């Protein structure tokens, strides 16, 4: 199946469900409603980055730059869970809209379980993309997440696989987001983001 037609299948599902994201729809009721500000997290991090899109074609990963995107992630870490809001922007002039609007927003909640016998932290995921689970180390440096995509059976994928590498000392997050049909690869986005932590300025940071 050609790239354009595969993305069109996803686009058809998006139109039917009146939802949009990178290649999937928003699950109803996942984004929590509230009045007033959020509870004070233990830590708030903001990541700003860029993703290079690729499609698996005849055994080879091929670049599809028209599906690249810029993104920011607001990550609030609490003692027993994390909450993240991700904003994506596709700016390439050749982007055809088949994977949703150019500007997208998603919500993720990761609940943390007790450290297991292997010294890993199990994670349970609820998100606008679907539900799933994963594992990470005790310092939250390397994480693997797998979750079921909330998409129609017509879509050319049904699973998301996310590999994360937090290089805190360098202020860098490297992440690969793969869209698979079972174990068969289809599309992946290779993300790299820079950390912005809260701080103050002794003087105005910019001036004319």
Place of tokens 């469900």: 17
Distance, in Å, from the CA atom of 50 to the CA atom of 89, rounded to the nearest integer, reads: 9
Fold classification of 3-16+43-197 is: Lipocalin (2.40.128)
pLDDT at residue 23 is higher than 80:
no
What's the DSSP call for residue 18? T
Least confident of 34-43, 144-153, 195-204: 195-204
| Domain boundaries defined on the chain | 3-16+43-197
Least confident of 8-12, 51-55, 178-182: 8-12
* Sign of the alpha-carbon dihedral angle for 54, 7, 128, 111: negative
Torsion of CA 138, 140, 142, 144, to 10 degrees: 90
98 Ramachandran zone, left/alpha/beta (phi>0; psi -120 to 50)? alpha
Residue 138 pLDDT = 95
pTM of the model: 0.83
Per-residue CA distances from 54 to 73, 79, 153, 183 (Å): 21, 36, 22, 17
């Amino acid at each position: 199946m050609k790239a354009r037609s595969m993305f069109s299948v996803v686009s058809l599902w998006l139109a039917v469900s009146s939802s949009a994201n990178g290649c999937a729809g928003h699950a109803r009721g996942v984004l929590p409603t509230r009045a007033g500000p959020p509870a004070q997290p233990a830590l708030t991090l903001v990541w700003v980055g860029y993703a290079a899109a690729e499609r698996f074609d005849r055994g080879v990963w091929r670049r599809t730059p028209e599906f690249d995107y810029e993104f920011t992630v607001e990550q609030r870490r609490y003692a027993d869970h994390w909450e993240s809001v991700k904003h994506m922007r596709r700016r390439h002039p050749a982007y055809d809209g088949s994977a949703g609007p150019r500007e997208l927003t998603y919500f993720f909640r990761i609940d943390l379980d007790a450290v297991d016998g292997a010294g890993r932290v199990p994670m349970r995921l609820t998100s606008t993309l679907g539900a799933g689970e994963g594992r990470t180390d005790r310092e939250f440096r390397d994480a693997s997440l797998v979750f079921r995509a909330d998409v129609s059976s017509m879509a050319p994928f049904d699973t998301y696989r996310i590999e994360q590498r937090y290089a805190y000392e360098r202020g860098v997050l490297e992440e690969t987001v793969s869209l698979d049909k079972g174990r068969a690869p289809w599309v992946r986005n290779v993300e790299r983001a820079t950390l912005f932590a809260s701080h103050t300025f002794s003087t105005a940071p910019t001036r004319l």
